[in-house]
Amino acid sequence: MTLLDKEPVKRVEKILKEFDSSQKVIVLNTSARTAIEAASSLGCEVGAIVKSLLFKTENFFILCLVAGDKKASQNKIKKTLNIKDASMASASDVKNITGFTIGGVSPIGHLSRIDIFIDNSLERFTSLFAAAGHPNCVFKIDFKNLQKITNGSIEKITE
């Protein structure tokens, strides 16, 4: 069994292929669990790695897509949502809501419908790389198509 046969990776690949038949999941020989590891494995800038970070609020979850060289700002997320509290989701919440384990959380293919914020700082890169359901699997996409495939809202949510 290869990594492409794993259910979370297949879920991502299906959505990628439906969006654009030329899209594919890239299997890496080395880990892409963190943005730094992913950039090293891919030979790209850390900022071109899309971090998929799940935040929990009083009533719902929101997935924030952030450049690998940036830090999500809880204050900016709260202000954008006009709420009082937001915090990083627990590992079990991440698994239950997205269907992915931390290190392989993809911007697409979630088990539950999740609203998505895309940090505007990702727009500075021609090519982006996002997790594809496993720490050794990614996919390549540009900013415009990342917004289209996720239907994410472009916001300024980093420090």
| CATH label of the domain that carries residue 49 | 3.90.960.10
Let me know if residue 83 belongs to a domain: yes
Return the pLDDT at 39: 96
Let me know if residue 111 belongs to a domain: yes
Instruction: For residue 19, give its domain range.
Output: 3-150
Let me know if residue 157 belongs to a domain: no
pLDDT at residue 1 above 90? no
Let me know if residue 7 belongs to a domain: yes
pLDDT at residue 69 above 90? yes
Let me know if residue 80 belongs to a domain: yes
Strands (E), 3-158: 26-27, 49-57, 61-67, 86-88, 115-119, 128-134, 137-141, 153-155
Structure tokens at 73: 């700002």
Let me know if residue 158 belongs to a domain: no
Let me know if residue 122 belongs to a domain: yes
pLDDT category at 112 given cuts 50, 70, 90 is very high
Domain count, the chain: 1
